[in-house]
Amino acid sequence: MSGATLPAGIEALLVLPHLRVQNANAISSPFTHGFPSITAFTGLMWALQRKLTAASIPLKLHQIGVICHHYEEQVNDGYVKTFRLTRNPVNSSGQTAAIVEEGRMHLDITLIFQVKQVAGTLTDALSALDQDAQQAEWASHIGEIVARMRVAGGTVLPTRPWMATLSEDSKKQAASFARWRRQWLPGFALVGRDDLLKDRHRALCEQKPNATLLDAWLHAARFNYQPVTDETPDSEVPTASNKKLRWVDPDRQKGGGWTVPMPVGYAALTKPLPPGTVANARDESTPFVFAETVYSFGEWISPHRLKHVHELLWRPETDLNSGLYRCRSGYVHDRSTSASADDELPDFD
């Protein structure tokens, strides 16, 4: 590869627009389905980073954002939906092999990576024309690499990535993001909403003082319908005949947004075990940790409602002291505004 294009500390975006993924994993955790886990995309980022290093592309991937344009979960419709399962070949004894349930889905997504120049690879500054040419070369090479990878276990159809440098000037950066986000419509960006879980836990504790965060997550992950009576005007005397009974979820009001329960990482159950001490581990050169899934809430929001590019990005965080490995979203909900009715869609997960 030729000389670098990004001065030290300058950020850029690597965008994989309308990436078509076939037969991706639709089961994101033991409790949720309908879209791959965000950890599947951070895992893709790490796998891609290793391949960029092997290809001598001096870029470091730091964060990733996901925008879904279309999804098609492979299920059979009915009162209760069931996955379309595949029949495996017969086993060695000639008998029918057991069916292992697996959820699959087709996706049309856009992936956005925050990238920086690898330290120690800077050369003389290039002209603006050379910078664009170098970024186009890197993006083309990355597109070829991604086409040979898997995204959430699904196969990828080739795409044409592009790169763009983020200006250090906040006004120019906002103008650029406003132009880019229009390219990502129609679609919905997945952002984190940890605040929803905190609010639900606080409200649930008013009714059940011993309620835990898990109780709050399970309560918020389902519809909690209650009968509500529409009273007649004060000038009339309410009777059984002039009251209308409706079943609603008081915690899911109109304008509350398209919120979904989702896994965001893992919590260690044990201390890291020495490499090679656990049988059948996939990597015998890395310490092994038994872990369980960490859950929170997310929201699907239209990109045009985001004000800054970092609001749609997720970053991986590791806390070795507490054994917490999770993804953090840069989105901060503005309580002064609410989603419009066109963002009210069925639950994704």
| Domain presence at residue 59 | yes
In terms of domains, do 201 and 332 share one?
Answer: yes
pLDDT at 2 > cutoff 70:
no
Per-residue confidence (pLDDT) for residue 341, from 0 to 100: 38
Mean pLDDT of the chain: 82
On whether residue 173 sits in a domain, the answer given is no
The pLDDT value given to residue 119: 57
Residue 310 lies in a domain: no
pLDDT digits (tens, 9 = 90+) for 293-323: 999 999 999 999 998 899 999 999 988 888 8
Q: For residues 159 and 262, state if they share a domain.
A: no
Q: How confident is the model at residue 339 (pLDDT cuts 50, 70, 90)?
A: very low
pLDDT at res. 128? 52
**Higher local confidence (pLDDT), 168 or 193:** 193
Q: Which domain holds residue 155?
A: 11-85+97-166
Q: ω before 36 within 30° of 0 (cis)?
A: no
Q: Given pLDDT bands bounded at 50, 70 and 90, which one contains residue 235?
A: very low
* pLDDT of amino acid 225: 83
Q: What's the pLDDT tens digit per position in 208-225?
A: 888 888 888 988 888 888
pLDDT average, residue stretch 266-288: 88
pLDDT digits (tens, 9 = 90+) for 15-55: 999 999 999 998 888 888 889 999 999 999 999 999 999 98
Res. 191: pLDDT tops 90: yes
Give the residues across from 41 on adjacent strands: none
**pLDDT band at 1; cut points 50, 70, 90:** very low
Whether 263 is in a domain gets the answer yes
Q: Are residues 151 and 284 in the same domain?
A: no
305, 79 Cβ separation under 8 angstroms: no
Q: For residue 240, name the pLDDT band (cuts at 50, 70, 90).
A: low
Q: Residues 239, 156: one domain? A: no
Residue 97, pLDDT score? 73
pLDDT tier, 243 (very low <50, low <70, confident <90, very high otherwise): low
The domain total for the chain is 2
Residues 32 and 145 in one domain: yes
pLDDT of 348 higher than 50: no
Query: Within a domain: residue 51?
Result: yes
Q: Is the dihedral of CA 73, 32, 296, 22 positive or negative?
A: negative
Same domain, 142 and 224: no
- Chosen domain end from 127, 148, 166: 166
C-beta of residue 188 within 8 angstroms of C-beta of residue 298:
no
* 52 within some domain: yes
- For the chain, state the CA radius of gyration: 24
Q: How confident is residue 100, by pLDDT bands cut at 50, 70 and 90?
A: confident
Q: Which two tokens stand for residue 347?
A: 């639950």
Closest CA to 162 of 190, 132, 126: 132
What's the average model confidence in pLDDT over 59-76?
91
pTM of the model: 0.82
State the Cα–Cα distance between residues 229 and 248, nearest whole angstrom: 10
pLDDT digits (tens, 9 = 90+) for 108-140: 999 999 998 765 554 334 445 567 788 888 989
Q: Which residues contact 114 (CB under 8 A, 6 or more apart)?
A: 11, 12, 13, 61, 62, 63, 64, 309, 310, 313
Q: Which of 25-39, 81-95, 159-173, 259-273 has the lowest mean pLDDT?
A: 81-95
Q: What would the two tokens of residue 245 be?
A: 């009974």
263 and 321 fall within a common domain: yes
**Whether residue 336 has pLDDT greater than 70:** no
199 lies in the same domain as 162? no
In this structure, the answer to whether residues 138 and 237 fall within a common structural domain is no
The CA-atom distances, in angstroms, between 29 and each of 206, 261, 270 are 29, 10, 20
pLDDT at 155: 92
Whether residue 255 contacts residue 339, with contact meaning beta carbons closer than 8 Å, is answered with yes
Same domain, 143 and 199: no
Confidence of residue 5 (pLDDT cuts 50, 70, 90): very low
pLDDT at 251: 78
336 assigned to some structural domain = yes
Residue 253: what pLDDT? Answer: 73
Is 232 found in the same domain as 274?
yes
- Single out the residue in 148, 166, 184 at which a domain terminates: 166
pLDDT at 224: 83
Handedness of CA 55, 60, 62, 66 (dihedral sign): negative
pLDDT average, residue stretch 230-246:
57
Confidence tier at 345 by pLDDT (50, 70, 90):
very low
Residue 189 located in a structural domain: no
203 plus 332 within the same structural domain:
yes
Category of 186 on φ-ψ map: left (φ > 0), alpha (ψ -120 to 50) or beta = beta
> What proportion of the chain, given as a percentage, has pLDDT over 70?
85
Which two three-digit tokens encode residue 302? 């239209």
Q: What pLDDT does residue 142 have?
A: 92
